[in-house]
Structures are given as structure tokens and as C-alpha cells.
Amino acid sequence: MAKGKLTFNENLCKGCGLCVAACPKKILELDKTRLNSKGYHPATCVNPDECIGCAFCATQCPDVVITVERF
């Protein structure tokens, strides 16, 4: 199974949660312990090892926060 690696341009995130719902592996969450520079709880990956690099999250993101690599 392919593996993915995510990079978040975190201060662009508006905490909308669309990526969280789009992820088939259910490994994205809004980090309720932190705020980004805009004052939103940013999306974060809680289990990077499970990522398959499908880019469903990045494709759904309205604010172009996520870059996805696959290996």
C-alpha cells in the first residue's frame, strides 16, 4: 500500500473540517489544543503512518492548505 506524507500550510487553515470528513483513513482532526495565526483550530494528522497519499483531503480543502506526497 502506498504511503503518503502531508505538509500543512497551517496558518491558511480555517478549521472548516472538510478534510477531516474527506479522509478515508479517518486520520485527520482539528487540533483543539492549538490556534493558528488566524485564530482557528488547525487541521492535523494524528496518525501519519496510516496515510495512503490519496489527496482526498487536499482536493477538498477550500484554502489550499495541504500538500501531499506519495512514496
CA pair distance 49, 25, nearest whole angstrom: 11
Sole residue written with cell 482526498: 56
- Which of residues 32, 39, 49, 64 is near another protein by CB under 8 A? 64
25-64 residues in contact with ligand SF4 (CB under 6 A) are: 25, 27-28, 43, 45, 51-57, 60-61, 63
CA pair distance 31, 27, nearest whole angstrom: 12
CB of residue 37 vs ligand SF4: minimum separation in angstroms? 13
H or E element at residue 43: strand 43-45
- Which of residues 1, 10, 17, 28 is near another protein by CB under 8 A? 17
